[in-house]
Chain A
Amino acid sequence: MVIDETRLSRPELRASRKRDTIVSMKRCCPLPIRRLHRPLVLCGAIPILLIAAVSCRKASETRQPAAAAAGVAFPFTERIGWFQGPCLAISNQHLARGTSVALVVTGEPQKVQQARSLEQTTAPTTCKALMQGRAAINAKPGISFYALETGSVGSTDMGIGLVEPPASLAVVNGLARVDLDQDGQSEVFSSCATSEGIKFAVWTGRAYQGEPRWSGYYYLGYDLKPNCP
């Protein structure tokens, strides 16, 4: 069995977790640190902080399996969109510049690339979905288009963009997967051609057979031979 596994590096996520840890420490270890004098900080506070950090880490670790079993709400609609080249279409008007976006290029095999959101755009040169003849259908109310800093993603590549996914994406046997809602079951990705566009979808379990979780439609405005199951 061939396994091609690609892990994304996620420094932002690690930073976020670090912030969460600090908040957790403040909550579960409310020591009066600021009242300590400097010598005490140097001689006594550091060991105390280390012990506190370890004990809080243990508490955090013991909570994680329970959280995973219960599942974590993941706003699929606001955090998932579709992309073509350097353009992301998503039902989210508040994506900050520099937000991390994991791109699942839905070719065969699927690939995972890292990108960052830039500004909202209506430029058809950036977003082919906004070319004349397509814009009126693709720019539905509530859909925003963002330019992306994509690195090695080609101008004709297309697929599904995940805004700050809660876990790293892996590519196993040519298919990208990630447990978005942390319920122990992976989400997978699909795209297929309709008669006039592309349908993108996210599923729990297997594509076209599992539970549909999200879908998006890109109207191309010309005729294709459909290949959707």
Chain B
Amino acid sequence: MATTTKSKSGSYWVTWANAHANGSDSVDDLVEPFKANARAFIKALEDAGAKVNVKETKRSDKRAYLFHWCWLIGLGKAKASEATDMTGVEIEWDHGDEEKSKKGAKEMIDGFGLAVPPDSTNAPALDSNHIAGKAIDMVITWKNTIKIKKKDGTEESVDFMDDVNKNTKLHAVGASYGANKLTTDAPHWSVDGH
């Protein structure tokens, strides 16, 4: 019977995640049909003269798992013994001593640069559209006004706005391709706007 040796939580896992559990910035890593929809939207933007800089597409579920549990344990919102296992991430959250477990998790919070949002009791999420390959973060820029083709072939004149969250005309163009804008987070477009 094969046995696996687990490594205790701590800064080692930050290095490990940066080598083995990174997110992607490639549209190819999205899932269909969102992949084709995002690609068509980006093509329409670029054909119209916009510059599209894709920042992130699919996020690693392993990285999300490490973020989630180190945040909860490091901030004392969960006990190390409560952490679930994840295949392919042989981490030992429980050091056999509560303070040591917390210290190991805190090293990871710091190493990952995780924020501790004020008043938040919610840890970084285990599931999301990004993790499912159904969301894309991108910066879209152009000068003045461009005409962008919607999926039905009609053109929409769209002014550039510094605050993309307020650019409802651009949102409508994206929606025609099935890329829906989340209006709280500037770079985020997804299958359902979440």
Nearest Cβ distance between residue A185 and chain B, in whole angstroms? 24
A204 within 8 A of B: no
Nearest Cβ distance between residue B137 and chain A, in whole angstroms? 7
Which chain A positions have C-beta within 8 A of B109?
A: 156
Nearest Cβ distance between residue B133 and chain A, in whole angstroms? 13
**Number of A residues with CB within 8 Å of any CB on chain B:** 38
Determine if B116 and A158 form an interchain contact, defined as CB atoms under 8 angstroms apart.
yes
In the bound complex, how far is the Cα of B120 from the Cα of A106, in angstroms? 11
- Quick check: which of B26-34, B39-47, B145-153, B180-188 contacts chain A, the rest being far away? B180-188
Scoring A128, A192, A197, A224 by chain B CB atoms within 10 A of each residue's CB, the highest score goes to A224
B96 within 8 A of A: no
Determine if A219 and B186 form an interchain contact, defined as CB atoms under 8 angstroms apart.
yes
Which chain A positions have C-beta within 8 A of B128?
A: 195, 223
Determine if B113 and A219 form an interchain contact, defined as CB atoms under 8 angstroms apart.
no
A159 within 8 A of B: yes
Interface string of A73-117 (1 = CB under 8 A from B): 000000000001000000000000000000001111000000000
Determine if A223 and B125 form an interchain contact, defined as CB atoms under 8 angstroms apart.
yes
Determine if B119 and A222 form an interchain contact, defined as CB atoms under 8 angstroms apart.
no
In the bound complex, how far is the Cα of B137 from the Cα of A223, in angstroms? 12
Nearest Cβ distance between residue B102 and chain A, in whole angstroms? 14
- Quick check: which of A28-36, A131-139, A144-152 contacts chain B, the rest being far away? A131-139
In the bound complex, how far is the Cα of B124 from the Cα of A165, in angstroms? 34
A194 within 8 A of B: yes
| Residue from B137, B139, B184 within 8 A of A226 (CB atoms) | B184
Determine if B59 and A222 form an interchain contact, defined as CB atoms under 8 angstroms apart.
yes
Contact flag A222-B64 (CB < 8 Å), given A131-B113, A137-B55: yes
Determine if A225 and B125 form an interchain contact, defined as CB atoms under 8 angstroms apart.
yes
Which chain B positions have C-beta within 8 A of A199?
A: 184
Interface secondary structure of B, over-half rule = loop
In the bound complex, how far is the Cα of B56 from the Cα of A71, in angstroms? 45
List 18 additional A-B contacts (Cβ < 8 Å) besides A133-B56, A221-B55: A108-B118, A134-B113, A137-B139, A137-B186, A156-B116, A157-B116, A192-B119, A194-B184, A196-B137, A197-B185, A198-B115, A217-B185, A223-B124, A223-B125, A223-B127, A223-B131, A224-B122, A227-B122
A-B contact list, 27 entries, CB within 8 Å: A84-B115, A133-B23, A137-B137, A137-B186, A155-B110, A156-B114, A156-B116, A192-B119, A194-B184, A195-B128, A195-B194, A196-B187, A196-B188, A197-B185, A219-B187, A220-B114, A220-B115, A221-B55, A221-B137, A222-B114, A223-B124, A223-B131, A224-B120, A224-B122, A225-B122, A227-B117, A228-B184
9 nearest A-B pairs in the assembled complex, by CB-CB distance: A223-B128, A225-B122, A194-B184, A128-B113, A223-B125, A156-B116, A106-B118, A196-B185, A193-B117
Query: Which B residues fall within an 8 A CB radius of A?
Result: 23, 53, 55-56, 59, 63-64, 67, 109-110, 113-120, 122, 124-125, 127-128, 130-131, 137, 139, 182, 184-188, 194
